[in-house]
Structure 1
């Protein structure tokens, strides 16, 4: 390996370690990612202008790669706003409340409904919807507010978001960083998501029931849901129209899922189908609700969705841009400047790792879980999954196989930790809507999530 190649890879490794360190310290990683891109460009090209221009070019490349994911999430959130404003969401959920007759049913029904809603609408809108509609019912059935919050967190921000099978935002990010098709990541994540979900939710429920029996959890009191947390303007719709929309929305999305299987739609095609359906629902619901003002309100709801989407992905774009430089993105941004014999920075590092350090399946799985946990400490869940994909590619190159499983494992660990289950500042929406302390919610989720990650990592070792 030539001296120039050594310098280039050394810079990349140095900044990867720096990014991990800042995540451990709970600091933002945008600045160090930008500096890393500039220094990589400077070492590779020897030109200051190319290095500076490469920063902007890397952002364009990252946004281009992420744009379908950003757009579909923006549109889904915009649609959820109009459905919430018109009461359609509440009408969709209300029949499920009749199943809640005791604390056990309350926990599992709320969790499963939250999971399904989160697959199609994402967990953030789902928290407000499920909390507002089902919290009073759950309290009457005997499930404490902390139990409602736990169920929403684990099923929504845990199971649904870590797999993200319908919208496919998370697997798209990790798949692009790992350089493999998004369908491979989704297929590999299915058994891991099931294991993680079953273990974590069962353990959490066991702890909750035990504490309820010995009195460590206060008895539920039916209090009003804090309206100030997720306030929304109610737009009147006739009962018939509201019920028709409430029936049409799940049917349309169910048809989307069936179409994905029937026509083998994966990745971008599946995302486009979901996004287009959500956009049509947004338009129809808005026009029915606002009539003459519908044209303007469609735009207003789209603006709300875009504000949410870019707020979520704002911190993701710089770090994604840096990790894309470890693969094909480097050539797209800086041109054919890699030294002779290089197969991409991450691939080169994987080969070198295999030749110098004995890497086993166990070490690789443990490392990806640890990296996922560390990258999730910033409370985002999404900001570090590109790192998980990049490192999965590195370890898989050293092992000779297992890239999809390692990528899925890193994704699951990162999102379970940072997506809103054990990092207190990521739990504030669920805690606020249920009226519980976010630190208490994080404490109660900690052991179940830790046990789930341990079991899932062991399972992944056998799947590699």
Structure 2
């Protein structure tokens, strides 16, 4: 089917290219996205007032689309506050500390623990949990703090966050950008995330082992300079009760996983289940430790969670607002102003590309990896993955297949680079908890991640 492009298509494409260039030169793209929305509004409606209100309405649309993701992150963070204050988080991971007898065991146990916890709580809350409990045990076993930071990065901000199979914040964003179901992205992500994870963590492990052997990586005094975590209510719960609460929490989340599988819950339904469970745990434990002022404390923790949630997603909203205009969001914001027969700016570009430019799987996969890397340069990991989904949609339409795989590949590349494994300013939380230099951590992560991206991109070529 042929499609005729008009000025709106070219303006949208021009701003996408400009966004790429801004990211390459490490410039903030927020204002550029707002200008892009305003410019599209002017050309679509020929009205200054409509263009101005369109900017606001596009933000409202983005917030509406992202609200479920923001809410789940906020509730998970709020629950993490009370678990930290009561010391229940310590009890939950304490059995693992007994297993770390060698540096090798410490690396894999730290990594796998970080991955599991990050799947349910996301890496940011998991950093404090792993850092406070397992970091001292790992150092005692002989693994330098830099090695601990590498394991936390690759397993948490890499494997867990790039797949995001439980909370599903990342696949929701990319699926929206690509115009496909979340389940399609999740299914396509499994082989890519598995290969990327195995390659990067294995290479990093042998590099750490080699450097420890030749003396270029060793324990030093600063490795033992660890920060104490806040334990405000630690003495209000006995060790026995902490064990009981830990068991209850693990059973509740295990039951959530069972329900997801049994009822085939995905996307918003799965997120709602996890969020409701987190809120229940928060209320239950807070009431137990502070019956009289439990209500005000719960509100405070929820506010703290929302503060964190909007701080994380605040930069995403104006960027997502621009990319949502590439699909049905344009009609919602500016009305029926697209050319007759148009199925959305991105769809139109994809159809036009399919009819004019020859594409193949290697070009598509390489391009999506590059797009993911570029979108990750801002250090967010999330702010640009909607773009990766939109580009995947264009290439998927042009190729006639592979949209889900291309979307998953762009998501993976963007989060591995910008979510906290390569970009130094995204590594600060892990570097701080482990007391290491974020630039040194980024340098140590670079080679394993680069090799992993190359191999994963080659795999994607065969899966498209």
Identify the residue that residue 327 of structure 2 maps to in structure 1.
Answer: 327
Residue of structure 2 equivalent to 1:419:
419
CA distance in 2 between counterparts of 1:456 and 1:9 reads 32
TM-score normalised over the length of structure 2: 0.97
Q: 1:235: Cα distance to partner?
A: 4.2
Deviations 1:47-76 (A, max 9, x none): 211111111111111111111111001000
- Separation in 1 of the partners of 2:443 and 2:73? 30
SS of the counterpart of 2:98?
helix
On the 8 A contact 1:142/1:220 being kept in 2, the answer is no
Q: Give the conservation status (yes or no) of the 8 Å contact 2:131–2:434.
A: yes
SS at match of 1:420: helix
SS of corresponding position for 2:421: coil
Task: Assess if the C-alpha contact under 8 Å between 2:145 and 2:223 holds in 1.
Answer: no
Structure 1 alignment gaps of length 5 or more: none
Please say if residues 223 and 434 of structure 2, whose CA atoms lie closer than 8 Å, have aligned partners that are also in contact. no
Counterpart Cα distance in 2 of 1:119 and 1:77: 13
Say how many residue pairs are matched.
Answer: 462
- Name the structure 2 match of 1:292: 292
CA contact (8 A) 1:22 1:29 kept: yes
Give me the TM-score of the superposition, normalised by structure 1. 0.97
Instruction: Tell me what 2:446 maps to.
Output: 446
SS at match of 1:396: helix
CA distance in 2, matches of 1:297, 1:178: 41
Which residue of the partner structure matches residue 142 of structure 2?
Answer: 142
Distance in structure 2 (CA, Å) of the matches to 1:438 and 1:234:
32
- Asked if the contact 1:135/1:225 (under 8 Å) is kept, the reply is no
Give 1:329 deviation, angstroms. 0.5
Q: How far apart, CA to CA, are the structure 1 residues paired with 2:230 and 2:395?
A: 47
In structure 2, list runs of 5 or more residues that go unmatched. Answer: none
Structure 1 residues 270 and 145, CA, compared in 2 at 3 Å: closer, same or farther? same
1:22 match: 22
RMSD of Structure 2 on Structure 1 (CA): 1.4
Question: Contact (CA 8 Å) 1:76, 1:305: kept in 2 or not?
Answer: yes
2:395 is aligned with 1:395: yes
For residues 184-239 of structure 1, what are the alpha-carbon distances to aligned partners after superposition, in whole Å with 9 as ceiling and x for unaligned?
Answer: 101110110000000000011111111111111123558545327x6564543222
Matched with 2:84 is 84
Contact map agreement 2:179 2:327 (CA 8 A) in 1: yes
Q: In structure 1, how many angstroms separate the alpha carbons of the residues matched to 2:56 and 2:108?
A: 47
Relative to structure 1, the CA distance from residue 87 to residue 133 in structure 2 (aligned partners, 3 Å threshold; closer, same or farther) is same
Report the counterpart of residue 31 of structure 1 in structure 2: 31
Which residue of structure 2 lines up, in the alignment, with residue 192 of structure 1?
192
Residues of 2 paired with 1:302 and 1:7: CA distance? 46
Judged with a 3 Å threshold, the aligned counterparts in structure 2 of structure 1 residues 249 and 220 are, in CA distance, closer, same or farther, namely farther
